[in-house]
Amino acid sequence: LAVSSLPGHLARRFHQISTALFDVEMRRSGLDLTPVQYAAVVAVRDNPAIDQATLAGLIAYDRTTIGGVVDRLVDKGFVTRMTNAADRRARVLSLTEAGASTIVAAEGAVVRAQEILVSGLNSSERETLTKLLDKAVTALGEVSRTGKG
């Protein structure tokens, strides 16, 4: 059983390289945002007044993970977290001005990281890879949905 040719191993390597590239390009832009933090802050921008549980489901993360990620985004001043008056269990998230401008400033780094990630493939291959990954992931939508705590 050759471990290195298993889909699971390739999944790990591809993801590992993806986050490493993201970190490098982000640092090169003078920004301090991790891949999760970027995904979260963009989701908050696109879904004003979203609560943490919905955010977790939207970008497919565990609730506990999102709690910690939001902690750091609040510390950095990119997001505010307030108790929802209508349902005091929920925490309403909002984007700050600093968060909005950071998203704009980060876009170049994000695009660059994506391009480098698939730089070994031609454009037809890139499209195929994206399509197949999406198809495989969508087919297993229930797995690791992590909706519950």
Partner DNA sequence: GAAGATTGAGTTCTCAATCTTT
Partner DNA sequence: AAAGATTGAGAACTCAATCTTC
State the DSSP code for 69: H
DSSP three-state, residue 51? strand
Nearest approach, Cβ of residue 86 and its own copies (Å): 28
Nearest approach, Cβ of residue 122 and DNA (Å): 27
Query: Residue 65 in contact with residue 52, Cβ under 8 Å?
Result: no
Nearest-angstrom CA–CA distance, 45 and 126: 28
Residues that bind its own copies in the complex, under the rule CB under 8 A: 1, 3-22, 35, 38-39, 42-43, 59-60, 107, 110-111, 113-114, 116-121, 125-126, 128-130, 132-140, 143-144
Q: How many CB atoms lie within 10 A of CB 106?
A: 20
Nearest approach, Cβ of residue 113 and its own copies (Å): 6
Residues that bind DNA in the complex, under the rule CB under 7 A: 12, 16, 20, 23, 34-37, 51-54, 56, 61-65, 67-70, 72, 81, 87-91, 144, 146, 149
Nearest-angstrom CA–CA distance, 14 and 17: 5
Partner whose binding site includes residue 27, from its own copies, DNA, none (CB under 5 to 8 Å by kind): none
**Of 61, 89, 92, 54, residue with least CA distance to 74:** 92
Nearest approach, Cβ of residue 128 and DNA (Å): 25
